[in-house]
């Protein structure tokens, strides 16, 4: 029997991208998946496609930046199913470009969704999982959350916060039988850039060209499930992410060419 069979998984930001791919991979393994997204139509579509294949799936609307919204949903899932085995805090947005050209509102919005959304998910799920003495929380960070990422500074700030929170919290939760895994993927082919925006980009076609070599979301989902299965503290993938992370740990000066590449990719407008 598959490790995930019969488990109840709540996935935020699952109306598209990595979240939807994770939901699909879990459904294939006979888990019950709750597809939560601020976009109710996207969540319903994703759930309907899984239901059409005979999976056990349902949709829900949630605003992860709102603590009450997250708490209400987690409580409902637990009440409906009697247990909550996986809480996957995936919802996030992207705002990139030149840091000093971004507004205070950009910084605030990123933190409210990318960081506080994870905090709200952890607090709501951990309360239930502590009662169960079992459960697994998965926080989706980023390669930008473990390496310096010029031109993605405020996005990186939110993801470094998630990584630091997650790695520090893991041993605390372990005492209550709760596992926690941090996922730090590199460039994944999703609609993240479409849902966010980039400040001071000269050539938007560069991002489209960049997408051609990004890692497929379905393969990323399989890597994430493997990390959950083996209770890994942190998972970094694919190969380019592992290489960049390894080089950063050797010394930042080694990544100077990479920083130059990012700067060229996100050139500041000249006026």
- Helix 67-81 / helix 116-132 crossing angle, nearest 10 deg: 30
Please answer whether residues 192 and 259 qualify as being in contact, where contact means their C-beta atoms are separated by less than 8 angstroms.
no
Q: What is the pLDDT along the chain (271 residues), one digit of tens a residue?
A: 589 999 999 999 999 999 999 999 999 999 999 999 999 999 999 999 999 999 999 999 999 999 999 999 999 999 999 999 999 999 999 988 788 888 999 999 999 999 999 999 999 999 999 999 999 999 999 999 999 888 889 999 999 999 999 999 999 999 999 999 999 999 887 665 555 556 555 444 555 555 556 789 999 999 999 999 999 999 999 998 999 898 887 876 566 676 666 666 555 433 3
- How many C-beta neighbours within 10 Å does residue 196 have? 17
DSSP string, 43-73: HHHHHHHHHHTT-EEEEEE--TT-HHHHHHH
Residue 155 a catalytic site member:
yes
Cis peptide before 238 (omega within 30 of 0): yes
| Contacts for 108 with CB less than 8 Å, ≥ 6 apart | none
Residue 189's beta-bridge partner residues? 216
Q: What is the pLDDT of residue 117?
A: 98
Give whole-number Cα distances, 91 to 110, 151, 260, in Å.
11, 21, 29
**126 token code pair:** 């951990």
Sign of CA dihedral 47, 5, 168, 141: negative
Query: Do the bridges between strand 8-12 and strand 32-37 make them parallel or antiparallel, or are there none, so unpaired?
Result: parallel
Exactly one of 78, 115, 155, 258 is catalytic; name it. Answer: 155
Q: What is the pLDDT of residue 259?
A: 60
Q: What is the pLDDT of residue 40?
A: 97
| Contacts for 251 with CB less than 8 Å, ≥ 6 apart | none
What does pTM read for this prediction? 0.88
Q: What is the pLDDT of residue 151?
A: 82
With CA atoms as reference, report the closest residue to 138 among 201, 220, 49.
220
Q: Rounded CA gap, 144 and 91, in Å?
A: 16
**209 token code pair:** 């060209």
Show the domains of the chain with their CATH numbers: 8-265 (3.40.50.720)
Which parts of 161-208 are beta strand (E)? 178-185, 188-189, 197-199
């Amino acid at each position: 029997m598959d490790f995930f069979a019969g488990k109840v998984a709540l996935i935020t930001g699952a109306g598209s991208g990595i979240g939807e791919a994770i939901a699909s991979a879990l459904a294939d393994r006979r888990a019950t998946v709750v597809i939560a997204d601020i976009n109710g139509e996207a969540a319903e579509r994703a759930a309907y496609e899984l239901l059409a294949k005979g999976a056990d799936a349902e949709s829900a609307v949630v605003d992860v930046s709102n603590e009450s919204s997250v708490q209400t949903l987690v409580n409902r899932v637990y009440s409906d199913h009697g247990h909550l085995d996986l809480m996957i805090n995936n919802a996030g947005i992207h705002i990139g470009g030149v840091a000093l050209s971004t507004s205070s509102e950009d910084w605030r919005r990123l933190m409210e969704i990318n960081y506080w959304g994870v905090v709200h998910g952890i607090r709501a799920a951990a309360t239930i999982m502590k009662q169960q003495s079992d459960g697994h929380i998965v926080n989706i960070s980023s390669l930008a959350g473990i390496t310096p990422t010029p031109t993605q500074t405020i996005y990186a700030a939110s993801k470094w916060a998630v990584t630091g929170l997650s790695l520090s919290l893991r041993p605390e939760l372990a005492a209550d039988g709760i596992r926690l895994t941090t996922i730090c993927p590199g460039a994944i082919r999703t609609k993240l850039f479409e849902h966010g925006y980039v400040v001071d980009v000269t050539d938007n076609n560069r991002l489209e060209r960049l997408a051609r070599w990004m890692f497929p979301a379905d393969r990323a989902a399989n890597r994430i499930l493997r990390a959950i299965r083996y209770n890994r503290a942190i998972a970094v993938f694919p190969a380019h992410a592992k290489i960049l992370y390894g080089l950063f740990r050797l010394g930042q000066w080694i990544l100077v060419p990479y920083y130059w590449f990012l700067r060229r990719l996100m050139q500041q407008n000249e006026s």
